[in-house]
Amino acid sequence: MSTRAITVSTRSAPPPPRWAVWAAHLTTLVVLPSGLWRILLVLGFPAGYTAEGFTAFQSPGAKVWMLALSVVCELLAFLTVGLVRPWGEVVPHWIPLIGGRAVRPMAAVVPAALGASALTVLWATMPLWWTHPHDDMTRTGNVVVGILYQPLVLWGPLLAAVTVAYWRRRR
């Protein structure tokens, strides 16, 4: 039996606002359409590309990259849920070495705020998708892919809002 000390904060934070819970869960959904589209490419469907444009996605390296990108994006989006769940306040017991310890608020706020800033900048131009030529895509594919990627514009602002709610309740 382990004798390590468990350091759980005795001061409980107030529950997160309902809007923050919804926003946190919404982050996982705004990432999903683009990830599913990339998985279609991995499975061999052209998913809006012309025959010539699709050849770049048929190499094993490209498939691994697209699958990894889809999984990592969804996992990162899921971390937002931690800002409104108990595991964002106390590290789950099953995690080696640090399980059961209180999460220091700034240990969650700083990476989340930096991520929110980066995502906001990264996806800020996505609404302009249709103003750029995409010669390797079919006309319908260009429209569909643009629609599937538009929700990513919300990822950064949603994460920022949930981060502020977390910080306010944990300070």
User: φ and ψ at 137, to 5 degrees?
Assistant: -120, 155
Read off the amino acid at residue 29. L
Who's near 137: CB < 8 A, 6+ residues apart? 48, 49, 50, 53, 145
Q: What is the reported pLDDT for 56?
A: 87
Which contacts of 9-15 are long-range, i.e. CB under 8 A and separated by 24 or more positions? 9/89, 9/90, 9/102, 13/89, 13/169, 13/170, 14/169, 15/169
Q: What is the reported pLDDT for 32?
A: 97
- Side-chain half-sphere exposure of 126, counting CA atoms within 13 A: 19
User: What is the residue-level pLDDT of the chain in tens, covering all 171 positions?
Assistant: 444 444 444 457 799 999 999 999 999 999 999 999 999 999 999 989 999 989 988 999 999 999 999 999 999 999 999 999 999 999 999 999 999 999 999 999 999 999 999 999 999 999 999 898 899 999 999 999 999 999 999 999 999 999 999 999 998
Q: What is the reported pLDDT for 142?
A: 92
Q: What is the reported pLDDT for 11?
A: 55
Q: What is the reported pLDDT for 171?
A: 87
